[in-house]
A and B are shown apart, each in its own frame.
Chain A
Amino acid sequence: MSVNNLAVQLEGVGHQFAELRALNQINLSLPRGMTMALLGHNGAGKSTLIKVILGLLTPDSGRVDVLGQRLTSGKKPSNVGYLPENIHFYDKLTGAEILRYFAALKGESHQRVAQLIEEFGLGYAQHKLVKGYSKGMKQRLGFAQAILASPQLLLLDEPTVGLDPQASSFLYQKVAQLKRQGCAVIICTHELNLVESQLDVAMMLGRGQCLAYGTFAELAKASPLQVKIALDGLAALLVTHPYLQAFYRQGALHCAQSEQPALVRYLTTKCQRFDFTLHLPGLAEIYHHNMAQMQHCSEQGLGFVTEPVLQPMGV
């Protein structure tokens, strides 16, 4: 994939805070128009990575390219929108004043502000002080701020924390809209179920290292977690088909992902059963498995997984 088609390209990025290795050999190639979830435990290095991409932190090692620009010390990328985690805007200013302030700093017009206020449904509250805004309204205001200058890359840090499902859904609709316009979006979040249904790829960080990166299907495929096959009347089948007994556990069939095609073939051809349900490991399971594995490696003094489960691919 051409470098110009990449919104973010990181190569061997590392950063040390005193005793803490915050980022270690991070590689990432995120194409334009893709949405990515940045996952990890608290202190995994997610915020540090976002600061590196924003040009607010110069890494100790590695190369950072954002929207085709090489970020060197102190250089900030242009055309990037950002919504920090848990932001509280100036209480004594109105929603419209806040957007106009940030618009002025980005050289955007009042017209653009009016357009966004309308688009984000804040028209009725635009002249109210922000201290009277609900959490959802503040997040909508923050999101509008982030896309003031029609960014080509958008970074959202925990944008849906504390939001009701309707407000979360509204934000993800906007993300989908931006994606269609060619904007790459990186969302730092802990809401794994929401991410799986809304975004394209995920990167899992653990103690500054990339544990996995890929589309959700690729992550599932690469995961050592087993596939579960559930079907009615399994007990009867086990009696007549001893082959299945090797996979039977807790009322369902469990197999490695590599064994899944053969097992499915057996069920359909030999058993004439087509009514089974296939459960691939979900993002939440993969995440918890990776975190547990990392914890285990740490306790055993084995070090962590040094290579991500999947290398960045040309999605």
Chain B
Amino acid sequence: MMSTIGGAIWRQPMMIIAAKELKDSLRNRWVAVIFGLFFLLAFSVTFAGSAVSGTLAFPSLVSVIASLSTIAVAIIPLAAILLCYDAFVGEEESGTMLLLLSYPLTKMDIFLGKLLAHSGIMLAAIVSSFTLSATILLCFGQGYQWQQTLWVFGQFIASSGLLALTFILLSYVVSLRATEKAKAVGTLLSLWFALVLIYDLLLLALLVADLGHRVQWLVQLLMALNPTDIYRAINQLATHAPMGSLPLLSQFQGGALWLYGLMLLWVALLAWLTLRTFMRKAI
């Protein structure tokens, strides 16, 4: 009975599409590149994170998370973009989207199949690399509390997963609206540059200019509009160590739950936008 149900699930169009996407990504070596990047990030920060302070020891938990999130906030969106930019426009360019739609499946099947494969790849890379990082600290480091380490890394992995999902969906929206692959990747890299690098610089300029803290609410609002800022805020809250150039990040009213809610809102909004664009798109 169970094997029949299992077999039936694997025969669902969504699962068939997901399996094909996974195979395609494996052959394109995107999976290898993403896993390689994430493991390199985890190893280098865990083993050599304190080298900048002149010592060669395992860094403190706060430092590890701060370093990991500082780099991951750039790497995760970039990996998601490179994995997904051609998800829809690529199929359109090659003519396979038209063919797929002539088959007995729905646009929802195509969307869910792709999402399952792409989010699966990103989540597997995030969970495996950062779990390894936590394991190394707990097994070989000194002074790390199990409970606190697991909690902080758990939050880091959960927020990283949500950030990946956000950029996968953002890539889908752009891929659906683009007329060719080159335009999709160009637009997405511009968005990545703006959201990850430029946005915070502009906010910092606003904060520095606002000596009387009169527009603090505005800064918080603008931060809530950028998923990468929410991601940073979640991880600073998890370590109870606001740091870096924007301490306001961790001062959101309502704490972590509120921030997770905002991230989920981004995911839901982008999923809705993807589906709406896909459903309305003329074939």
Contact = CB atoms under 8 A, between A and B. Distances in A.
Interface string A39-60: 0000000000001001011000
A265 B60 CA distance: 108
B101 interface: yes
Contacts of A84: 95, 98-99
B102 interface: yes
A54 B102 CA distance: 6
Interface stretch (A97-105, A184-192, A204-212, A253-261): A97-105
Given A51-B283, A106-B104, A93 B24 contact: yes
A76 interface: yes
Contacts of B96: 87-90
Given A56-B283, A93-B27, A88 B95 contact: yes
B23 interface: yes
B16 interface: yes
B94 A56 contact: no
A105 to B, nearest CB: 5
A198 interface: no
B99 A92 contact: no
A85 interface: yes
Contacts of B98: 56, 84
Interface string B208-239: 00000000000000000000000000000000
Nearest to A17: B282
Contacts of A102: 99, 103
Nearest to A47: B98
B106 to A, nearest CB: 9
B240 interface: no
Interface in A17-33: 17
Contacts of B20: 90, 93, 101
B283 A93 contact: no
Contact of A90 (B13, B24, B102, B283): B24
B28 A92 contact: yes
B88 to A, nearest CB: 14
B276 interface: no
Contacts of B99: 82-84, 87, 102, 145
Interface in A180-232: none
Contacts of A107: 11
Contact of A89 (B13, B16, B93, B94): B94
A150 interface: no
B197 interface: no
A105 B24 contact: no
Nearest to B109: A105
B24 to A, nearest CB: 6
Interface in B1-36: 11, 13, 16-17, 20, 23-24, 27-28
A66 B70 CA distance: 58
Contacts of A92: 23-24, 27-28
A80 interface: yes
B95 A80 contact: no
Nearest to A87: B95
B213 to A, nearest CB: 52
B182 to A, nearest CB: 16
A293 interface: no
B243 interface: no
A86 B96 CA distance: 10
Contacts of B17: 105
B230 to A, nearest CB: 35
A78 interface: yes
Most chain B Cβ neighbours within 10 Å, of A85, A88, A129: A88
Contact of A57 (B11, B27, B283): B283
B102 A105 contact: no
B103 A105 contact: yes
B94 A87 contact: yes
Contacts of B100: 105
A157 B112 CA distance: 29
Contact of B102 (A17, A82, A86, A93): A82
Nearest to A57: B283
A126 to B, nearest CB: 16
Interface of B: 11, 13, 16-17, 20, 23-24, 27-28, 93-96, 98-105, 282-283
Given A86-B95, A102-B103, 12 more contacts: A17-B282, A84-B95, A84-B98, A84-B99, A87-B95, A87-B96, A89-B96, A92-B23, A93-B24, A101-B16, A104-B11, A105-B13
Interface of A: 17, 51, 54, 56-57, 76, 78, 80, 82-90, 92-93, 97, 101-102, 104-107, 129, 145
List the 7 closest A-B pairs by CB distance, nearest first.
A92-B27, A87-B95, A88-B94, A82-B102, A84-B95, A104-B16, A84-B98
17 contacts: A54-B102, A80-B102, A83-B99, A84-B98, A84-B99, A87-B95, A88-B96, A89-B94, A90-B20, A92-B27, A105-B13, A105-B16, A105-B100, A105-B103, A106-B104, A107-B11, A129-B27
